[in-house]
Structure 1
Amino acid sequence: MLITVSGLPGSGTSSISSILSKHYGMQLISAGSVFRSLAKEHNMTLEEFGHNAEKDSSIDLMIDERQREIAEKEENVILEGRLAGHMAKSGFSIWLKAPFDIRVERIAGREHSTYDTVYAETKKRELSESLRYKEIYGIDLEDHSIYDIVLDSKNWNPDNLSKILIVAIDNYNCE
């Protein structure tokens, strides 16, 4: 089975993907790992590759194409990334959401940064990504109609949220 986990920064996609990967014994491929792999292939540091990605939309396209290739080749894999649900044409697709202030608090905590700094950076990043995804793919990140399940992660810790998702996944396509 193919499972995709998507959501905005701080919504819990990395945590949930990791838990589901362990639970099902499935390989986890994150957009971040694809990004690191492509940086290495281009003999660049992550920082250099990141700066190039801001200026060159072909890098986003490479990351998304790599996830699309993996989704088409692999049978038991979890793809995690903002557009993973759009890149895979089949499987069980999850969108995790959470209010902006909660996501900012989570990001600030894991990056050991201030709320105000992360707030400004996240606003800028999400606006930039939203515009790029509309321009490149015609994707509106606020349209969740392609997902099998959309969950707000604000009220559950990752373990409890995973339990909900495991029940949904285990009963997917059941009659």
Structure 2
Amino acid sequence: MLLTISGLPGSGTTTISRLLAEYYEVELISSGEIFRRLAKERGLSLSEFGALAEKDATIDLEIDRNQKAIAHSQDNIILESRLAGHMAEGVPNVLKVWIKAPMLVRVQRIQRREKSLSFDEELEKTVEREKSEALRYKNYYGIDITDLSIYDLVIDSAKWNQYQTLDILRVAIDSLGGPA
């Protein structure tokens, strides 16, 4: 089974993906981590690298092309990214999950993760980042990131902690036969 985990920044996709990968002992491929690594390698912040990606489509397109190839060629793997569900279109035996949380909750999580002192600064950066990504997804693929209709399961991570969310996902995954 292919499992895709998607959601906006701070929703908990990386945490949940890691827990699932550990529980099911499957590989996790995170495009967000790849994007962060590329930004760091260039000495840029996420928002600066996002702005660069708006001007240089090859950044996103290469990451997405790689993820799509993996989705169509490997089984028993977790793909985590904003567009993972879209990159797995047409793949049999896939469970597409969207993790959501309110903006303020997500920004508080990002603020803790980044050890930022300013909530307002993180809010501004998050809003800017999400606008940049939404624009790029619309321009590159015609994808409206707010349309969740392609997902099999949408979970609000503000309602449950990461272990409760893991339990919900385990029930869903196991009911479909889970990773072999």
TM-score for both structures, normalised by structure 1: 0.89
Question: 1:3-32: per-residue Cα shift (whole Å, max 9, x none)?
Answer: 000000000000000010011111000003
Structure 1 counterpart of 2:43 = 47
Q: Does 1:111 align with 2:137?
A: no
* Cα deviation, residue 75, structure 1: 1.0
Distance of 1:120 and 1:4 partners within structure 2: 28
Structure 1 unpaired stretches of 5+: none
Q: Which residue among 147, 152, 155 is the counterpart of 1:148?
A: 152
Q: Which residue of 2 is the match for residue 27 of structure 1?
A: 27
Separation in structure 1 between the aligned mates of residue 58 and residue 43 of structure 2, nearest angstrom: 17
Q: Which runs of 5+ in 2 are unaligned?
A: none
Which portions of structure 1, spanning 4 or more consecutive aligned residues, are displaced by more than 6 angstroms? none
CA contact (8 A) 2:4 2:85 kept: yes
AA at the equivalent of 2:66: R
Q: How many residues align?
A: 170
Return the offset for 1:67. Answer: 0.3
User: 1:46–1:33: structure 2 CA closer, same or farther, 3 Å change rule?
Assistant: farther
Shift, 1:46, TM fit:
4.2
Listed as ranges, the matches of 1:133-172 within 5 Å are: 133-172=137-176
Question: Which residue identity lines up with residue 35 of structure 1 in the other structure?
Answer: F
Q: Percent identity?
A: 51
Output one character per residue of 1:46-85: Cα deviation in whole Å (capped at 9) or x when no partner.
4359364342011101000000011112111100000011
For 2:43 and 2:173, how far apart are their aligned partners in 1?
Answer: 36
RMSD: 2.1
SS in structure 2 opposite 1:156?
A: coil
**Post-superposition offset of 1:35:** 3.5
How do 1:78-93 residues align onto structure 2 when only pairs under 5 Å count? 78-89=78-89, 90=91, 91-93=94-96
> Could you say if the C-alpha distance between residues 81 and 46 of structure 1 is closer, same or farther in structure 2, counting changes exceeding 3 Å?
farther
- In structure 2, the residue matched to 1:99 is 102
1:66-77 equivalent positions in 2, closer than 5 A = 66-77=66-77
